[in-house]
Amino acid sequence: MIVLGYNGFTKGAELFGRLYGATGIDRNLLVGHDAAAALVIDGEVVAAVEEERLSRVKKTSDFPEQAIRWCLDSAGVELGEVDMFAFPWRFSETVGEQMIAQICGTDLSVPAKFDSLRRTGELYTDMLSREAVYGDFVRRTGHDLDPNKLALVPHHLAHLMCGAYLAGGGDAAFLVSDGRAEILSAVMGELRNGVVRVFDESSVEMTSSLGVAYGRITRYLGFVPNNDEYKVMGLAAYGAPPRHNPLLERVVRLHENGSYTISIPRDQQAYYALFDDLFDGDSVKREEFDFRVKVAGLAQHMVEAITAHQVRTLTAASGLDNLLFEGGLALNCVANSKMLERSSFTGMEVSFGASDPGVAIGAAVYTAGLRNRPAEAVTTPYLGPSFDERHVLDALAAYADRVDWQEEADVAAVSDRTAELLAEKNVVGWFQGRTEFGPRALGSRSILANPAFPDIKDIINVRVKHREPFRPFAPVVLESEAPRVFAMGKKTASPYMTFVFPVREEYQERIPGACHVDGTARVQTVNERQNPALAGLLRAFTERTEVPCLLNTSFNVAGEPIVCSPRDALECFLATEIDYLVIDRFVVTKKHPSDTP
């Protein structure tokens, strides 16, 4: 059976801009963001890529035309050969009725209610309804799709199925929490014997979304919601844990059934006024580092308190040992680690597709009838485009007036040469194999550096990434070495950078570039099976330097998608102060002006 999952709306950005006044990247960040496609053949995910990697439009919500075409071409499949098409949103008529009831039940004035109904009606008719989704697919692909071959999968179910499939199946309790699905923002329950049971009494309505609340604080601090929440998480580490939290005292109410209510106005001017009152802030203070640290700490504490409340209820209601956590909130790796260590769960999984890229995978595996991943299916984030030597050489030739390159004999020689470069204070672009799927660079399209240099973070942030200097970087380490360097608690591996661990005291001075200000690190573990090229490089680097890990950050600059093609990599390399580019078997350097004839 062949199933194609996809996420994205052609009209999303236009409608959110016109109906709700969204501008810039915000137009892509409400529904359908992280547009992607994924292909499942006979029970295995064989290809998946985000549209942004191909279109080069960050966080795009557009219909993933290029991603769909690449997935099919990579597997040699035509549109007509696909058995089912799976879409991870299901705005049924029942959901539409609930949306209407929610608007009518608000305390808005009558004219404001009519205005909200008008805008929501246009959004539903032109974009969200089954008829609109079907028409969008036909127009963009030119394929005369049998309507019975289009499956609409509820958004939270798509999140859950992505996590369950990639975790290898089996019984587990689950929590899915994000900005919004159709009408809810968080659900919990259990997956037992392949059957999903939602604890409906613990579901949280969209109007009390924790993801939206965190996003509004993100905007209040001058960042982009649904995009920059990780900056707030990083800032929080610069301050001490709060003794009391006005958000929990005045904005959040926790309920005995595991749900909660968050009361924050929707209007930006109104919630800025509320936050100024709560945090003793104003437009001047919002620019001050110490104030931003304080507010970030309160926001992070709110997330940790609410998720701990949910997990307590889930533990009591389920009794299963393992926890699946999916949705945008699952990218808060600081909260993840505390959730696991402070709970009775013995295991917890957060997938590489936990945020909205993963719903394309989840919709596809659900529609394919998969509740558990087949034992022979490979779980890997390296599902995107790869490029053979001819493509690499063609790209290098196109930039021959600006770069030089040296070809290494084999994979081992590439590892040795790269380890030699990284032993010094060099920043290296690392481009190998298939593009990874999801928001993290996991060693296929990465920027690497030596964490033994205390100032290496500043070098990368300012000279390479062009981003805020307070941002930390993740260390990548061999799975076998990770427990020696990091206090990993209940985890034995962390392959997707979804957990944070303390750096053991004896290593903090040896890898200062990998330590955040609070002595922790967002760790990626790797082994030979997952990524042989990266594992080989780590072994060669450690043998040469006795440094047990490398810094790994995404191969891009602020505001740009992670690079995908050799040309993308060369453009980024030439636009930054990256010292070397290692692409396939070629070590690339920049020509100096004196080298140009």
Q: Do domains 2-160 and 168-350 have the same CATH topology?
A: yes
Q: pLDDT for 403-459, tens place per residue?
A: 999 999 999 999 999 999 999 999 999 999 999 999 999 999 999 999 999 999 888
Cα–Cα distance measured from residue 58 to residue 578, given in angstroms and rounded to the nearest whole number: 21
Cβ–Cβ contacts within 10 Å for residue 122, how many?
Answer: 14
Q: Whole-angstrom Cα distance, residue 374 to residue 6?
A: 22
Q: Report how far residue 12's alpha carbon sits from residue 530's, in angstroms, rounded to the nearest whole number.
A: 36
**Where would I find the beta strands (DSSP E) of 398-444?**
403-407, 428-431
Question: Do 16 and 30 form a contact (C-beta atoms < 8 A)?
Answer: yes
Dihedral sign (CA 149, 154, 156, 157): negative
Task: Measure the CA–CA gap between 297 and 217, rounded to whole angstroms.
Answer: 11
Pairing verdict, β 428-431 and 260-262: unpaired
Domain ranges of the chain: 2-160, 168-350, 389-595
Integer Rg of the chain from CA = 24
Cα–Cα distance measured from residue 333 to residue 316, given in angstroms and rounded to the nearest whole number: 23
Q: What is the pLDDT along the chain (597 residues), one digit of tens a residue?
A: 999 999 999 998 899 889 888 777 667 667 878 999 999 999 899 999 999 999 999 999 999 999 999 999 999 999 999 999 999 999 999 999 999 998 998 888 999 999 999 999 999 999 999 999 999 999 999 999 999 999 999 999 999 999 999 998 889 999 999 999 999 999 999 999 889 999 999 999 999 999 999 999 999 999 988 788 989 999 999 999 999 999 999 999 999 999 999 999 988 899 999 999 999 999 999 999 999 999 999 999 999 999 999 999 999 999 899 999 999 999 999 999 999 999 999 999 999 999 999 999 999 999 998 755 555 566 899 999 999 999 999 999 999 999 999 999 999 999 999 999 999 999 999 999 999 999 999 999 999 999 999 999 888 988 887 777 778 889 999 999 999 999 999 999 999 999 999 999 999 999 999 999 999 999 999 999 999 999 999 999 999 999 999 999 999 998 899 999 999 999 999 999 999 999 999 999 999 866 555
Please identify which residue in the block is written with the tokens 């001017």.
269
168-350: CATH topology:
Nucleotidyltransferase; domain 5 (3.30.420)
Which residue bears the tokens 């019984």?
A: 171
Collect all residues with Cβ–Cβ distance below 8 Å to 82 and sequence separation of at least 6.
Answer: 2, 3, 4, 72, 149
Q: What is the residue whose two structure tokens read 């929440």? A: 229
Instruction: Copy the structure tokens of residue 421.
Output: 């470069």
Cβ atoms of 333 and 234 within 8 Å: the answer is no
Q: Which residues contact 300 (CB under 8 A, 6 or more apart)?
A: 232, 233, 236, 332, 334, 335
User: May I ask the CATH class of domain 389-595?
Assistant: alpha beta
Q: Which CATH superfamily is domain 2-160 in?
A: ATPase, nucleotide binding domain (3.30.420.40)
For residue 503, the SS3 value is strand
H helix or E strand, kind and range, residue 483: helix 482-485
- Say what the pTM is: 0.95
DSSP state of 265: -
Give Cα separations from 442 to 42, 78, 266, 494 (angstroms): 26, 30, 36, 11
Alpha helices in 285-410, H assignment, sequence order:
289-318, 333-341, 358-367, 389-398
Q: What angle do CA 428, 467, 533 make, to 5 degrees?
A: 25
Here the tokens at position 225 are 């919601």
